[in-house]
Amino acid sequence: MRTLLRQPFDDLASCLTRLAESPRPLRAMCVVLVALVATWFVYVPVHELLHVLGCVTCGGAVSELEIAPQYGGALLARWFPFVVSGGDYAGRLSGFDTRGSDLIYLATDFAPFLLSVLIGVPLLRMCAKRRRPVLFGVAIVVGLAPFYNLIGDYYEMGSIITTRTVTLLGSSADQVAFEGIRSDDVFKLIGTFCLRPSELGLNGAAGIALGAALILTSIVVGVVLAFLTYYLGDRTARVFYRMPRVPGHPSQRS
């Protein structure tokens, strides 16, 4: 468990150490930043389209995907009828139908992070062994995606698991499913919970207290899922790309 929690930080520290050992560390860092920004603008629409792919592949349906114009929303809207240029977010799957299946819902949320498992984390592991500024910029965006999506997709996955578990453990068939606390924006959800809890289907002191407990639990579950995703990427790097741990890696020290 200790290794699981430390692995992302250790890998990132090793990558930064490689940059610091460069003959021209400032130039190397500038290359990393340029690669990071360029990758970000490509990754955002790809990430959102993978949500669509995950939903449709597993049996769901998609009606609307919002992508901001600066991320190619107008261009993609010409190719995909469900894409809308604009919205309050860089990208957001705002219209989709999971056919009432939480498994399809989870697949929709998780699909983009297959890039982290198959490409991003292995790239980060590679950069921990060799100085590769361009690849390091790419790896930060793709490999660490689970962690900067903790307030979005990973909270949503955590809330799906938490609310479904509570519903299954309930003693009555008409128990509230707490679907109101499922959200891809935890800050917006908390704002609504604090100001207008009735909009989330939470009424009375007991309902509000239970809602607060479920939101906190969902956050914790989302964090655990993010670390497990990184762990899967680490195992992928070792098994499929044959990348052993870096000699002298912090996680190997006593």
Q: What are the tokens at 4?
A: 């699981």
Q: What are the tokens at 53?
A: 């792919």
pTM, whole model, 2 decimals? 0.88
Separation CA 167–CA 176 (nearest Å): 7
What is the per-residue pLDDT for 174? Answer: 41
> pLDDT, tens digit, for every residue of 121-147?
999 999 988 888 899 999 999 999 999
Q: What are the tokens at 230?
A: 């990184």
Burial 2-35, CB ≥16 within 10 A → b, else e? eeeeebbebbbebbbebbeeeeeeeebbebbeeb
Boundaries of every domain in the chain: 2-60+98-245
Q: How far from chain centre, in Å, is Cα 113?
A: 6
> Which amino acid belongs to residue 215?
I
What is the per-residue pLDDT for 63? Answer: 93
Question: With a cut of 50, which residues of the chain have pLDDT below it?
Answer: 171-174, 248, 250-254
| C-alpha closest to that of 128 among 26, 41, 241 | 241
Separation CA 230–CA 203 (nearest Å): 38
What is the per-residue pLDDT for 221? Answer: 96
Q: What are the tokens at 46?
A: 């790809």
What is the per-residue pLDDT for 128? Answer: 85
Separation CA 174–CA 167 (nearest Å): 9
What is the per-residue pLDDT for 75? Answer: 92
> Residue 178, SS3?
coil
> pLDDT, tens digit, for every residue of 161-180?
998 888 887 744 445 557 78
* Angle at CA of residue 66, ends 62 and 70, nearest 5°: 145
What is the per-residue pLDDT for 141? Answer: 96
